[in-house]
Amino acid sequence: MSDETTEAVLPPGVAKGAIRDNLEVICFAVLLILFFKTFVGQQFTIPSASMRNTLMIGDHLLVNKFLFAVPQWSWEEKLFPMRRAERGDIIVFRYPLSRDMDYVKRCVAVAGDQVEIKNKRLYVNGKQATGEFEHHCLKDGDQPEPGPWGLNRDAGLSNHDQAMAAAKENGHLPAYAGIWPFVDPERLKINRQGGSAEGGPYYPFRDDIGSFVVPEGHVLAMGDNRENSEDSRYWGFVPTDHLRGRPFLVWWSFREGGNDDTRATVPDGPGDVAKNFFDGARYFFTRTRWERTGTIPR
């Protein structure tokens, strides 16, 4: 009997070598990541305090991107959980005045809703909309306090009251507020193409806006930290085709600068990315908010 061994002959293309094998794995991983980011979900970081204390500076979010997608066929709605944005949803959207920027706010009203803001109180269809999500800072430098903010609870001086107090000191009355500019149909058209934001130290419409109706194809967005959020009150409505998704998980929460008030650095190039990575690794155990990591934002 022969002692010779028989060597298995592999089919053509199987013996590809380590380099080609690894390249295929890398390419597949990249395609999978791109598919996930384009159609399923994406990571976003909260850079400012506009949504405190619902979302904190340094919260890293996973966002469901297909929830607000517009279905092309009826079977898509049945197969996937797709729907329109609803009142109370936390939404991620392209900033109407600069579409390269992403904003995170709360949807407080949808198309057809009648809205009014009186002395910091938001009214939707004749009823006050408030809850634990609504935060106010009673004085400059104070930490935001959670709601609800009924009429019998002091929410601090409105912008109008602050302007009048300043007028007593300098002897000049503030300019008449007039009509909120974004109800003008022509202004609405301009803002869809990238208009301009209103503002100023005593922006009169931050805490008081006369009754208006949210137009079709738009929603109204406001930050939960009402005194520290430039939102629809300053730049108008959010077109629904700007919606990118809804956060469904805080997968990591990191205190920038070691506290809750330091703004996060939005990476602008490889240097910023490397710095953020280095700071995250260096202070991972001391600055991570363990109590928030893994929570679902509401």
Query: What six digits make up the tokens of 254?
Result: 């990191």
Report the chain's mean pLDDT, rounded to a whole number: 84
pTM over 0.85: no
3-class secondary-structure state, position 166 = helix
Please say whether the beta carbons of 55 and 104 come within 8 A.
Answer: yes
| Mean predicted confidence (pLDDT) in 177-186 | 83
- Nearest residue to 185 via CA among 198, 195, 175: 195
Is 84 a residue whose pLDDT tops 50?
yes
Between 178 and 210, the higher pLDDT residue: 210
Please say whether the beta carbons of 230 and 197 come within 8 A.
Answer: yes
Between 272 and 37, the higher pLDDT residue: 272
CA distance 250 to 296: 6
Q: Which domains does the chain have, with CATH numbers?
A: 40-287 (2.10.109.10)
Q: How confident is the model at residue 266 (pLDDT cuts 50, 70, 90)?
A: confident
Is 175 a residue whose pLDDT tops 90?
no
Sheet holding 121-124, edge to edge: 127-128, 121-124, 114-118, 209-213
- Nearest residue to 295 via CA among 256, 251, 254: 251
- Per residue in 272-297, pLDDT (tens digit) is 778 888 888 999 999 999 999 999 99
- Per residue in 52-74, pLDDT (tens digit) is 999 999 999 999 888 887 776 77
**Upper half-sphere CA count for residue 213 (Cβ side, 13 Å):** 6
Q: Label residue 91 exposed, middle or buried (CB < 10 Å: 0-12, 13-18, 19+).
A: buried
Q: How confident is the model at residue 36 (pLDDT cuts 50, 70, 90)?
A: very low
> Which of 8-17, 187-196, 225-234, 246-255 bottoms out in mean pLDDT, i.e. has the lowest?
8-17
Three-state DSSP string of 173-224: CCCCCCCCHHHCHHHHHHHHCCCCCCCCCCCCCCCCEEEEECCCCEEEEECC
Between 291 and 181, the higher pLDDT residue: 291
pLDDT score of 14: 53
- Burial letters for 142-152: b for 16+ Cβ neighbours within 10 Å, e otherwise? eebeebebeee
